[in-house]
């Protein structure tokens, strides 16, 4: 069958498996071109199939020579469709890693569950012994608690209602969006899903199972952004969750003291991920930011961010480069005053008629499409894909 993209709003309803392969291989080549670095050799990546998690795994495997275990919640091909992009990312990554002589194990399931924690512990004991690094890169709107209840997060403000332009990728248009204030219960639920509680549960389980090597490190990913985005992000429900995540780093750091371990949060720059384009209003800022940063030659995608994080700021010659709050600031280029001044000057001028000329919204859309295997160079999208052969592939 010939696969055409199906986009609904800011959600991709399908993917192109061969395009996903091209995207994974492209990131691998970028890491190899950057050169090797002395990093961890046994790594657990939670949320390993796309975005920061996948880029972390690629950077560590092909930059530091790490063996990895990746956990992700993805769906394979069935009578309902071809499956998710992350499903194929896992397959192509594993194949490339094994060809390079590295261990690459994929576990597919709910990373919030105690069952998955035990499966991961079993694999670590059998194939890795212990891990030197745990990367926490989970992004989900729902968390199933140990008692079986479901808790859902919301993307809302916590003060005044907020109105602004949002981006509709399906129609390549701006749409007016409104965010209403969250209730106290909604704030608590968002923190439960997206805060640091599950990260801490993972680290406790791994430590109790003696799966953490002496001096093991862990890092989780976050975003703060400039003041102009505070009403929709830092002061919103997602911001409350991220603050909880930041505080949890200190708790985990104390927990790991007995083995000489440490916990950090990497504050990343605004990037095109499946999660970020879904946040109301934020994609308009992102489109403007991409244009400004590309003009200044400081734009980074997920793979460039993760390469720099591990090679320079976590395992580089200076050791871990962090502030007093255990935050590794990978948003340093984004928050440069000149960059923010340029973005702030553009934002009030944005209209549905002129937005394409004010930022790099074409680049934003292309990066989104590439997350799902479309618009990659070197891929023949007019060629039919053998669906039967895809069903034989396993992560």
Catalytic residues: 233
How far is it, in rounded angstroms, from Cα 358 to Cα 286? 12
d(CA 305, CA 269): 8
Contact 158, 181 (CB under 8 A): yes
Neighbouring-strand partners of residue 142: 152
CA separation for the pair 367, 271 (Å, rounded): 9
Positions at the binding site for substrate: 223
Query: Tokens for 385?
Result: 């894909």
How many residues are given for the chain?
A: 395
- Distance (Å, whole) CA 111 – CA 202: 9
Question: How crowded is residue 115: how many other Cβ atoms within 10 Å of its Cβ?
Answer: 10
E-only strand ranges, 65-111: 67-72, 104-108
Sequence-ordered strand ranges (E) for 249-334: 262-267, 327-329
d(CA 381, CA 272): 22
d(Cα 317, Cα 310) in Å, to the nearest integer? 11
Closest by CA to 371, choosing from 306, 275, 244, is 275
**Each residue of 343-356: b (16+ CB within 10 Å) or e?**
beebbeebeeeebe
For residue 328, give the nearest of 311, 344, 342 by alpha carbon: 311
The whole-angstrom separation of Cα 194 and Cα 209 is 25
Report how far residue 226's alpha carbon sits from residue 234's, in angstroms, rounded to the nearest whole number. 9
Q: Which of 198, 362, 360, 361 is nearest to 295 (CA)?
A: 360
Please, what is the angle between helix 114-123 and helix 197-208, to 10°? 40
CA distance 69 to 94: 10
């Amino acid at each position: 069958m010939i696969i055409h993209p199906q986009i609904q709003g800011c959600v991709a309803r399908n993917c192109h498996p061969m395009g996903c392969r091209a995207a994974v291989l492209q990131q691998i080549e970028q890491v190899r071109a950057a050169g090797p670095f002395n990093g961890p050799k046994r790594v657990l990546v939670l949320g390993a199939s796309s975005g920061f998690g996948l880029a972390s795994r690629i950077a560590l495997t092909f930059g530091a020579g790490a063996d990895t275990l990746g956990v992700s919640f993805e769906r394979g091909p069935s009578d309902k469709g071809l499956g998710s992009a992350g499903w194929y990312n896992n397959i192509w990554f594993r194949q490339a890693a094994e060809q390079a002589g590295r261990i690459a194990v994929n576990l597919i399931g709910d990373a919030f569950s105690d069952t998955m924690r035990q499966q991961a512990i079993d694999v670590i004991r059998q194939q890795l012994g212990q891990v030197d690094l745990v990367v926490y890169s989970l992004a989900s709107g729902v968390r199933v608690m140990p008692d079986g209840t479901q808790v859902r997060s919301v993307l809302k403000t916590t003060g005044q209602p907020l109105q602004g332009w949002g981006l509709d990728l399906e129609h390549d248009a701006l749409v007016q969006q409104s965010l209403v204030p969250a209730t106290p219960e909604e704030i608590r639920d968002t923190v439960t899903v997206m805060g640091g509680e599950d990260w801490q549960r993972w680290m406790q389980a791994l430590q109790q199972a003696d799966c953490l090597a002496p001096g093991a490190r862990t890092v989780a990913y976050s975003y703060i952004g400039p003041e102009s985005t505070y009403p929709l992000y830092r002061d919103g429900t997602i911001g409350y969750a991220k603050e909880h995540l930041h505080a949890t780093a200190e708790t985990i750091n104390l927990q790991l003291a007995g083995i000489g371990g440490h916990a950090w949060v990497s504050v990343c720059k605004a990037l095109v991920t499946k999660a970020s384009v879904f946040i109301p209003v934020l994609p308009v800022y992102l489109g403007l930011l991409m244009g400004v940063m590309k003009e200044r030659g400081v734009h980074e995608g997920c793979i460039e961010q993760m390469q720099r994080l591990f090679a320079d700021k976590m395992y580089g010659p200076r050791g871990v480069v962090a502030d007093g709050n255990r935050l590794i600031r990978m948003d340093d280029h984004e928050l440069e005053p000149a960059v923010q001044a340029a973005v702030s000057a553009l934002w009030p001028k944005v209209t549905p008629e002129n937005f394409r000329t004010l930022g790099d919204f074409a680049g934003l859309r292309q990066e989104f499409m590439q997350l799902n295997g479309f618009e990659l160079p070197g891929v023949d999208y007019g060629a039919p894909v053998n669906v039967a052969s895809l069903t034989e592939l396993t992560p």
